[in-house]
Amino acid sequence: MASKASPRGGDHVMESPPQRKEIYTYKAPWTVFSLAWSNRIEQNSQFRLAIGSYIEQYNNTVQILKTKYTLQPNSEYPTMQIYSACEIEHPYPCTKILWSPEGKNNATPGSGAGSTNFGGRDLLATTGDYLRLWSVAEDNEASSSGGTGEDDDDGGTGATTTLTHKREALMINNNRNSEYCSPLTSFDWNECDPSMIVTSSIDTTCTIWDIHTQTVKTQVIAHDKEVFDLAFSRGTDVFASVGADGSVRLFDLRSLEHSTIIYDTPNLEPLLRLEWNKQDPNYLATFKVDSQSTIILDIRVPCQPVTILGGHAGCVNAVAWAPHSSCHICTAADDSHALIWDLSHMSKRPVEDPILAYNAEGEVNNLQWSSSQPDWVSIAFADKLQILRV
């Protein structure tokens, strides 16, 4: 991804960077839609990700991917390989996947083998027809001893570690009076209180769950139409949502009697996704359905975008804030491009051009920026997952 974008109006030209490019690809047996980085700090700078299939039938799959490094003959650098360490059968495609934020809270990057999030179980949540939790652990003796399997002894140069999973809990239908379950469109996992998850649904509601007790804490009618996405702010009390009614709404768990509408699209066009800047929680990013632009909002100045990011020649599908910077954001679209933008001066002048661009081999369906290893971004297109060093 380390390449300059061309001036506005021209094609995005990939220039050879001075440093070695690092782009690694995994080919799945199906179209990749949902994806997520684990928040654990893996030993030997290795990665753990989850990807979900998009198959238009009941039986779908979640794969847990890991990486290993191998040194090829006559090669100066080791090569990273991505492999499937575990498969989970999943009903219907996942609308979203997230790993527990406990891995982020329990360890500090660079803290070494003594970090408390090495080994042991790693919780994974998915949404679709229901909210489901899965526990993923190293296979065989590693899980019982607290180690991390074969990778502990090989220096990260070749051994393949398998993982096992089990379903921790199945969140039952919160509509007790009906067997019908409204599909869940998205969810977010609170980083400060990992017992709390909030889900959004096509039935216009948002539901706050306590995953420790497996119960509903509260439910609110959030929008006039379907709710498509939501995100927690930094902290435990505030979240925002977007939906088919074209509004961005803020909710405070301490006072759910009302919400605050901070933005409406001009013609009430549906808003599809929402991402909250965790480094500077004054800013949100969202985009409309079938739109080539990303809208940046300042919650202190409702109703008016602080800037609108163009640059794409196809519909935007995903957006992710940099986990380590308050002013960088990545967008991805049907034009096969992933663009990184610098927003540090957006209050003074329009943001016209991205600072970095990557041209994928197909329409980019999703992207995630790793919070545990923020030099890396992952994108999904067709049946491939790519991880890119930025």
Give the pLDDT of the chain (390 residues) as one tens digit per residue.
645 554 444 444 444 344 567 899 999 999 999 999 999 877 666 889 999 999 999 999 999 999 988 887 877 778 889 999 999 999 999 999 999 998 765 544 443 333 344 456 789 999 999 999 999 887 653 434 333 333 333 433 455 667 777 765 555 555 555 556 789 999 999 999 999 999 999 999 999 999 988 889 999 999 999 999 999 999 899 999 999 999 999 999 999 988 999 999 999 999 999 999 999 999 999 999 999 999 999 999 999 999 999 999 999 999 999 999 999 999 999 999 999 999 999 988 889 999 999 999 999 999 999 998 999 999 999 999 999 998
Whole-angstrom distance, CA of residue 177 vs CA of residue 155: 55
Task: Give the per-residue pLDDT at 21.
Answer: 78
Whole-angstrom distance, CA of residue 370 vs CA of residue 345: 24
| Contacts with 140 (C-beta within 8 Å, 6 or more apart), sequence order | 149, 162
Length of the chain: 390
Whole-angstrom distance, CA of residue 375 vs CA of residue 277: 17
* Extended beta strands in 190-324, E state: 196-201, 205-210, 215-221, 227-232, 238-243, 247-252, 255-264, 271-276, 283-288, 294-298, 307-309, 316-321
Task: Give the per-residue pLDDT at 323.
Answer: 95
Residue indicated by tokens 């804490």 = 217
Whole-angstrom distance, CA of residue 320 vs CA of residue 332: 9
Radius of gyration of the chain, Cα coordinates, nearest whole angstrom: 21
Whether the Cβ atoms of residue 354 and residue 340 lie closer than 8 Å to each other: yes
Task: Give the per-residue pLDDT at 40.
Answer: 85
Task: Give the per-residue pLDDT at 138.
Answer: 78
Task: Give the per-residue pLDDT at 382.
Answer: 97
Whether the Cβ atoms of residue 8 and residue 32 lie closer than 8 Å to each other: no
Sequence-ordered alpha helix ranges (H) in the chain:
102-106, 141-145, 151-154
Gap between the terminal Cα atoms of the chain:
5
Tokens of 10: 């021209």
Whole-angstrom distance, CA of residue 173 vs CA of residue 130: 7
pTM equals 0.85
Whether the Cβ atoms of residue 357 and residue 337 lie closer than 8 Å to each other: yes
